[in-house]
Structure 1
């Protein structure tokens, strides 16, 4: 075991003990949201009725591939200003941050995204919650450092582990529901506290909040933002069949049930990362008309991984497993238009690979 893994194991056990002893709940739910620190000025949310959304995920490597995609996003933003971004998890590879003061926030978020000066609605991913092994999702307390970072960054928006944002605030065109299903999807399921269990306090409160928030929302478009997808043609697979496994709960069966009980048929779109690919799937009877979009190719491509295969075979209007890229959603009261841009690593140039009106 490496030194980093040994440290990770000690921190994991210490974190579990702290939670068992009654650690603070600040930032875990919208009711305990982290306030913005004095002296920090957040980039403002748009107030108009046309909203241009950058959709990107699995970016936080700090490598030249992340910088190449960021270069292409900057070039797009210079031509067509972006209103807000969705950062769909795995924000800090490979193990997540050690604290809210971790230099990785600068190296893997602030510096690569310089000039992309608008709010970034951030989602927690499995790598952001690593314990012993990178991406195992087994130390959920680690993700709280990303919530705490909300206090100090003009760009980074994550006041709690799950939350919603209406744009504009009054009579909204869109409401984004940022969800945290990591307790249900962890490769190392929560063992030390019932708080994180599938039927525990955290997920029960999140489900009740989501049901209430969706019922009260007056937004024309309701978009669920998650790291783990509900449907996925890439190798990570669908919820309930993650990694092609039949072993519960690590196959994501609880994730599937959460989506089906609280999201599907209530939101027009689910946008996710996790799979390092670009996918625009067709809505189905099973998904109750909700369309799954996967944008997780901001720094890595799944097609470059050993033994790459696609999986479920869901009908798709666009799929790309071999190129880096990002997506852009243009939202008005009357329409949703999607563009997919692929990126050349060598030059940082983006190319529009797909365009479609989705609604």
Structure 2
């Protein structure tokens, strides 16, 4: 079944709405979680097909002109090409996250801008979603529970837990793709965590790590995608995990425990690592050091940021001064990544780059993989 976005070039003066679908299931900590929930919202269905197109955006939730421009451009492209899923890479509700699961910011910063792109949006938490007095600090992780609870109120918004996985097709012995969502903010906050549940080595971090390791090992998907707000490798100003903001000490701001999680659990186990956080567009290489796990950064859905003074990662393609988004086209043979930027002045979508990857990681082992730029 194909769920296609409708409404080409919709502006904030013409907001489309639509919802419908049937129940499906995700895996949350090894437990099947039904999509059709008691609140009476019919969730848009997870696609049941062997070839799919996925919209990729990140750091979108400002409610401002930049978000609307990117959403309009994405709506235009999705209406033309078709779309089956969307992924939101965190910082969904600027500046501090919602105050409740019925906060009207869900409407102004997610539902209305994205109306017409009527597919499930697989969402993860970012540092701006889990902040208190200091915007973007990530120092109030429990605030993210409001976004998890919003899953019950929205046809589009898909976040049954702080970490979860979705396989497509869901009942296949060997799905074409499996997406693993994780919450990296407690490991890379700008302030020390004060809730023991969310210490870098606390119960949440240990349980999430164990779940991710087990889930990746058990997956029989042809292509595996781990997605989170914070990237492992990044040529933007936030820099690489382990040296975020140019800081390499401490348990939080440096992101050294994000680096450990990715290198120990994800590298060589998933073909793609998708992140935002940096307000840039980057398709990095399949570095041998990371055993074929390729980093994509897509965080320019509302703001732009800039490039690090001395970037350290090889890239197939990068853009630092433009808003934009990406589309992933996935089938058993390949994953195609199309990057779109916005034309200055008009906001029209511009196809900027196409990257094709054909080599998977060996089943059950780490290994090197290839790509064609």
TM-score by length of 1: 0.88
CA distance in 2, matches of 1:135, 1:233: 20
CA distance in 1, matches of 2:73, 2:111: 16
Summarize deviations over 1:31-87 as a string: whole Å, max 9, x none. Answer: 596972332011111111111010110000001111010011110111111010010
Question: Partner of 1:273 in structure 2?
Answer: 276
8 Å Cα contact 2:188/2:254 also seen in 1: yes
CA distance in 1, matches of 2:241, 2:47: 33
Residue 297 in structure 1 maps to residue 296 in structure 2: no
8 Å Cα contact 2:187/2:199 also seen in 1: yes
8 Å Cα contact 1:28/1:144 also seen in 2: no
Could you tell which deviates more after superposition, 253-262 or 155-164? 253-262
Question: Partner of 1:340 in structure 2?
Answer: 339
Q: Structure 1 residue 188: deviation in Å? A: 1.3
Q: Which has the higher contact order (CA 8 A, sep 6+)?
A: 1
Question: Partner of 1:321 in structure 2?
Answer: 320
Question: Partner of 2:39 in structure 1?
Answer: 38
The one of 243, 246, 262 aligned to 2:245: 243
8 Å Cα contact 1:185/1:255 also seen in 2: yes
Summarize deviations over 1:294-316 as a string: whole Å, max 9, x none. Answer: 0000000003xxxx634432110
CA distance in 2, matches of 1:51, 1:266: 21
Residue 234 in structure 1 maps to residue 233 in structure 2: no
Question: Partner of 1:188 in structure 2?
Answer: 191
CA distance in 2, matches of 1:33, 1:196: 23
Question: Partner of 1:8 in structure 2?
Answer: none
For structure 2, the 5+ residue unaligned runs are 1-26, 359-373
Question: Partner of 2:290 in structure 1?
Answer: 287
Residue 352 in structure 1 maps to residue 351 in structure 2: yes
CA distance in 2, matches of 1:130, 1:117: 29
Residue 254 in structure 1 maps to residue 246 in structure 2: no
Question: Partner of 1:212 in structure 2?
Answer: 214
Aligned ranges 1:23-62 → 2 under 5 Å: 31=31, 36-62=37-63
Question: Partner of 2:308 in structure 1?
Answer: 309
Provide closer, same or farther for how the CA distance between residues 212 and 311 of structure 1 changes in structure 2, counting only shifts above 3 A.
same
Runs of 4+ that moved beyond 4 A = 27-35
TM-score by length of 2: 0.85
RMSD: 1.7
Question: Partner of 1:18 in structure 2?
Answer: none
